[in-house]
Amino acid sequence: MPGAVVVAPVKRVRACARAPARTRMGGAERRSARRPWCPPGRLIAMRSCALRRERRDHVVEHRLLDGRCQVRRLHPGVDHHEKKVSVATIMLENDISSGNQDELIPYSTVGKKLGQEMQQRDEQLNKIKEHLAIVRGRIDAACQKAGRDPYSVRLLPVTKTVPAEQLRIAHAAGCLEMGENKIQEAHEKSVVLGDLNIKWSVIGHLQTNKAKYLARFANEFHALDSLKVAAELDKRLQIDGRSLDVFVQVNSSGEASKFGLLPDEVGAFVDQLPNYSSLRIKGLMTLAVLSTDHERARECFLKMRAVQEMLRQEAPDGLSFDELSMGMSGDYELAIEEGATVVRVGQAIFGKRPLPDSHYWPEFG
């Protein structure tokens, strides 16, 4: 009948038939004891990583532990039992810690949100795993084509602009090292994700006054092109008694917008590096011309090989230039054909960045 109002049947509340044998309980206790999750209601308190809900006869606590949400029902004077449910921990943690701790929110909303977040997390995890497998497969194929050992090429996932929560998922997908081009973003992420022991590579230009931050957390620096920065890094590293793997950045395209030393400046620069004993020189890094014309990128990579060859002959003893950090999402296979040992790949793993490179990355302005 058009226009009729459908009235949903009123749900009958079932009387509780059986009480758990363990304890003797009243009716309300028996009803709630049979339900693993609490029925919709209101949260009465939120703590940094626990939800606590007081029922008439017991307390339900949701606590985050090892990527799981642990649900505990505490009956005063009775034993406790626990049920583990997997959820997207980090999201929950963020939600709660950023929220107003005294705010009341419907419990049912929390449960629904957790379910959605858990599903989203799984989807993201699978996508990153799939992309990683594709990139790794293409690296291996490029190695085969060039007659190289696939183990001679390291994939450095580039995580700039990817939020920290997603990097937690990327870590679970197998990204144990991450590259960032901006020191501040890198440092912030290294703090937020400090529990994961990620190896951080700073792959972008560094100002001398920021060297102290890099020395604190980075494992590797790919963009050394100034002796001032080398001196400052060395000073800070000496204080902490650590060393740092370093790549010298070369401007192989000759574009004025790019950082890095011009190929004919590299020799004199490298001669000074033995003065900075906490820098472990590994090799050279470059950004090729970003162009759909692959031959122009190839010229850049070939130039790097020539510089590497020159340094092998002429560089001071004790410095090694075996590594070549070159190749990104658009040109890593080409770079491998021309000798790359580290490829820095972002978008092919994490998807396209929302804004053009020039926005995040002045070098491509």
Q: Rule CB under 6 A: which of 195-234 touch ligand PLP?
A: 203-204
Smallest Cα–Cα separation from 227: which of 206, 254, 256?
A: 206
Q: Give the residue with the Cβ less far from ligand PLP, 223 or 233.
A: 223
Q: Quick check: 346 binds ligand PLP (CB under 6 A)? A: yes
Instruction: Answer yes or no whether residue 246 interacts with ligand PLP by CB under 6 A.
Output: no
Q: Whose CB is nearest to ligand PLP?
A: 346
159 lies in the binding site for ligand PLP (CB under 6 A): no
Applying CB under 6 A, does 361 fall inside the site for ligand PLP? yes
Q: How far is C-alpha 185 from the chain's CA centre?
A: 11
Part of the chain binding ligand PLP (CB under 6 A), chosen from 15-23, 36-44, 46-54, 338-346: 338-346
Q: Which is nearer to ligand PLP, 107 or 350 (CB)?
A: 350
At closest approach, how far in Å is the CB of 237 from ligand PLP?
22
Rounded CA Rg of the chain: 28
Both tokens assigned to 340? 């790359």
Q: What is the DSSP letter of 261?
A: B
Lookup result for tokens 């793997």: 245
Kind plus residue range of the DSSP H or E element containing 282: strand 279-285
347 in contact with ligand PLP (CB under 6 A):
yes
**What is the spatial distance between Cα 41 and Cα 107, in angstroms, rounded to a whole number?**
5
352 burial class (0-12, 13-18, 19+ CB within 10 angstroms)? exposed
Tell which positions 173-202 bind ligand PLP, by CB under 6 A: 181
Q: Which of 158, 215, 279, 288 binds ligand PLP (CB under 6 A)?
A: 158
Alpha helices per DSSP H over 180-323? 183-192, 211-217, 227-240, 266-272, 294-314
Per-residue x/- mask for ligand PLP, residues 290 to 329, rule CB under 6 A?
Answer: --------------------------------------xx
